[in-house]
């Protein structure tokens, strides 16, 4: 009897995994089918499928044509694979997603691996996000990775990384350059000053 209950209870869950209703309700069937295949292949290699689903829904919401949505989702899947490979098998979902954004900002896998080497046991999502933010603001990857690495070495917390952007904004409004603001923060942390 318990076997019956187990089967009845788990089969619909597995069907749900195989066919995400959000895709099929909003995208043309041919596009939804291709996205579903990409999401399924992500699950098979233990990568998060949700970012792929969200990328497809973003494309639909922004009025992108189907082939462009599929191309974007496939590119994101490749970036997720590369990020996980660079960050190691222990990388959690938010780290993999941050790593994918790093790569899509023009960063490279060796720098991600370097950050992991600097801080092998801590969560890197906030740190990588800060580095990515610097690159989208025009920093070179070398400079962004070096600044992130120095913050990690200085034992910056996730909150430090998240606050850094606000500090840069304040410093820039006061006439400083973003790079000078970051270096000032690095020096502050390295001196042991932990004031928020």
Partner 1 sequence: MADPAWLADAAARLRSPVEPRSDGFDQRIVAAVHRDRSVRRARRRVGIGAAVLAALAAVWAGPARSPRTTVEFEINAPTAERVSLVGDFNNWDQGAVPMRRGARPGQWRTTVPLPNGWYRYAFLVDQSRWIADPAKSIAPDADFGQPTSLLVVE
* Residue ranges binding partner 1 (CB under 8 A): 2, 5-6, 9-10, 13, 22, 51, 54-55, 57-64, 68-69, 71-72, 75, 93-94, 97-98, 101, 104-106, 125-126, 129, 132-133, 135-136, 158-159, 162, 165
Q: How far is CA 41 from CA 8, 24, 38, 92, in A?
A: 25, 17, 5, 18
Q: What b/e sequence results for 131-151 when a residue is b if at least 16 CB atoms lie within 10 Å of its CB, and e otherwise? A: bbbbbeeebebeebbbbbbbb
Q: What is the nearest approach in angstroms of partner 1 to the Cβ of residue 39?
A: 14
Q: Which is nearer to partner 1, 59 or 150 (CB)?
A: 59
* Cβ nearer to partner 1, comparing 125 with 189: 125
Straight-line distance from the first to the last Cα atom of the chain, in angstroms, rounded to the nearest whole number: 59
By C-beta, is 136 or 187 nearer to partner 1? 136
Query: CA 195, CA 180: separation in Å to the nearest integer?
Result: 19
Rounded distance between C-alpha atoms, residue 36 and residue 186, angstroms: 44
Nearest approach, Cβ of residue 138 and partner 1 (Å)? 11
Q: Which lies closer to partner 1 via its Cβ, residue 149 or residue 160?
A: 160
């Amino acid at each position: 009897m318990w076997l019956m209950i187990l089967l009845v209870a788990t089969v619909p869950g597995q069907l749900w995994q195989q066919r995400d209703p959000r895709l099929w309700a909003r995208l043309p069937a041919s596009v939804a089918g291709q996205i579903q295949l990409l999401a399924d292949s992500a699950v098979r290699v233990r990568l998060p499928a949700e970012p792929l689903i969200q990328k497809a829904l973003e494309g639909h919401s922004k009025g992108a044509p189907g082939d462009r949505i599929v191309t974007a989702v496939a590119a994101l899947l490749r970036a997720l694979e590369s990020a996980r490979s660079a960050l190691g098998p222990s990388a959690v979902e938010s780290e993999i997603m941050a790593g994918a954004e790093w790569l899509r900002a023009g960063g490279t896998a060796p720098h991600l691996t370097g950050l992991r080497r600097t801080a092998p046991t801590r969560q890197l999502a906030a740190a990588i996000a800060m580095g990515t933010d610097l690159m989208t603001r025009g920093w070179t990857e070398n400079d962004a990775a070096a600044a992130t690495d120095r913050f990690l070495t200085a034992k910056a917390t996730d909150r430090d990384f998240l606050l850094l952007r606000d500090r840069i904004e304040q410093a820039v409004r006061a006439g400083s350059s973003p790079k000078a603001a970051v270096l000032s923060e690095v020096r502050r942390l390295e001196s042991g000053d932990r004031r928020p």
